Chain A
Amino acid sequence: HLATSLPLPSERDHLRPRIDLIAFMIDIKSKYSLKNVEASLAHVDASFFLGKVCFLVTGVGRVNYCSVETNAVWKLRDVYSSPVLYCELELEGIRVATAQRLLRMLQICAGHIPGVSALSFGSLMRNSEDE
């Protein structure tokens, strides 16, 4: 399901399946996108932040056009205890690889991988980042 902001329109509540993973996309070229994500985060139930939320930062290939500071992204990562993935959607190879990573995360969050829970995977990613 694609949405431009949260909360989701209520008229489709009955049509929506269970949500296993929320990926917030931040375009590094647009401060507006960061503000939008920060505003939408307020509408997410706290239980999602136990491994079912991730941040996807796009547009990192164009170094000259960065509008969003890395510090701002790290702050989000720390405050909401959620992993950050960086990608460049304009390059097909990276696009495909990122999609595969997200899909893998989704499988874990939906409980399809026995032995690995969303929470344990989230803390695994967090620990590996700090090292």
Chain B
Amino acid sequence: MDEIVAEYIRRTVLKIPRHEIKTMLQTWGFLSEAQLQTVNFHQTKDSVSREVVQLCKDNSADIKQAALLDIIYNHVYPNKRIWSVYQMNKSGEETDFFDLRDFKKKFKRRLQTALKNVTINFKEYEDNAIWIRIAWGTPYKKPNQYKTSYVVYHSQTPYVFISASVIRSTLPLLCQALVVASNYHDIREMELRSHCLNSLKDIVFKRYSQTFQTYYPRPLQERNVTSENVDLRIIQENKNEKERILRVNREVFGDGPQPKLEFAQYKLETTFKSNPSLDVSDIKEPFRCLVKFSSPHLLESLKSLAPAGLADAPLSPLLTCIPQKARNYFKIRERKGIFPGSFVSP
């Protein structure tokens, strides 16, 4: 077995948390149950990884098997990478039936004619998700298995989730290959990025709890004020205001859990508008400013701002439109006209 493959398998196994190694190897299915029994999974990860590599050598593993293990690892732990969302467009209305074999063939052919040295592997999952792993090389060097891109394509949708490799030049090539293989016309980046792949899918497939217009003047209250430590001697003076804030918040964010995003970025390209009493002349060029919000769970923290008294309700629509518009990177430009304001560019 190739030394590169052996080392790659060893490093992949080392990434897996110790209590998960056995299950992941079983999912992989390359080593038989009998072989797995011979490994002591309670020793140090270093020793476990070496034993696994030895078994792989006995079975003559090649790069294809190693790549498959890597895909499985990334499928279970997708949140270690940053994913960007892309949308493909069809020009006409042809509803081609999706042929998996055709897709794979076209994809490989497109990439390999452009760049001879690539490793391409596919794995399909139940929810119509096709995982593609690509290891990039150069015209003169073999593929570097540690410089990989991952693509998750849901064949029944025009959306592709890409976790690109550090080599930026490979991205256009990858996009081109996807468009050609899937019989679409073009592809565009959706300004939506996050570590949490499932949340990106939730936003794009509209799987999170959306709010609808209700015509009830007040929502039904499932929970009364009989929560844990309510002392009846404490009287909240601003109860009406608190209820209004909760109601407005609920109308904006809905009831269910929010998709998990880590940042929202607003690039301002507006001119600086000063108070006329200040002695600053109106600068005509745009004031370049970047505002970035970051949080372990941005949307949940925005949802809890108003009830915690840290912001007025309702929040700015620039913040609350994130799931509906399916983007978290915005460019705000000057609105040209009689009433200067700002608007969000597409």
Contacts and interface: CB of A to CB of B under 8 A. Distances in A.
B240 A2 contact: no
A5 to B, nearest CB: 8
Contact of A8 (B234, B237, B310): B237
A4 interface: yes
B310 A3 contact: no
B236 interface: yes
A28 to B, nearest CB: 15
A9 B235 CA distance: 13
Interface residues of A, number: 10
A1 interface: yes
A125 B242 CA distance: 36
A9 B234 contact: no
B241 interface: yes
Interface string B233-273: 01111101110000000000000000000000000000000
Interface string B290-309: 00000000000000000001
Contacts of A8: 237
Nearest to A27: B309
Interface in A29-55: 32
Contacts of A5: 238
A2 B241 contact: no
B235 A4 contact: no
A60 B71 CA distance: 50
A11 B241 CA distance: 12
B234 A4 contact: no
A12 interface: yes
Interface residues of B, number: 10
Nearest to B237: A3
Interface in A1-21: 1-5, 8-9, 11-12
A4 B243 CA distance: 13
B309 A2 contact: no
B58 to A, nearest CB: 57
A67 B237 CA distance: 27
A4 B310 contact: no
Contacts of B241: 4, 9
Contacts of A2: 234-237
A1 B235 contact: yes
Contacts of B237: 1-4, 8-9, 12
A32 B238 CA distance: 18
Contacts of A32: 310
Nearest to A30: B310
A2 B310 CA distance: 17
B239 to A, nearest CB: 9
Nearest to B238: A4
Nearest to B309: A4
Contacts of A9: 237-238, 240-241
A8 B238 CA distance: 8
B229 to A, nearest CB: 14
Nearest to A17: B235
Contacts of B234: 1-2
Nearest to B311: A32
Nearest to B234: A2
Interface in B169-202: none
Contacts of B235: 1-2
Given A5-B238, A8-B237, A9-B237, 15 more contacts: A1-B234, A1-B235, A1-B237, A2-B234, A2-B237, A3-B236, A3-B237, A3-B238, A4-B237, A4-B241, A4-B309, A9-B238, A9-B240, A9-B241, A11-B240
What 8 pairs across the A-B complex have the smallest Cβ distances?
A3-B237, A1-B235, A4-B238, A8-B237, A2-B236, A1-B237, A3-B238, A2-B234
Interface of B: 234-238, 240-242, 309-310
25 contacts: A1-B234, A1-B235, A1-B236, A1-B237, A2-B234, A2-B235, A2-B236, A2-B237, A3-B236, A3-B237, A3-B238, A4-B237, A4-B238, A4-B241, A4-B242, A4-B309, A5-B238, A8-B237, A9-B237, A9-B238, A9-B240, A9-B241, A11-B240, A12-B237, A32-B310
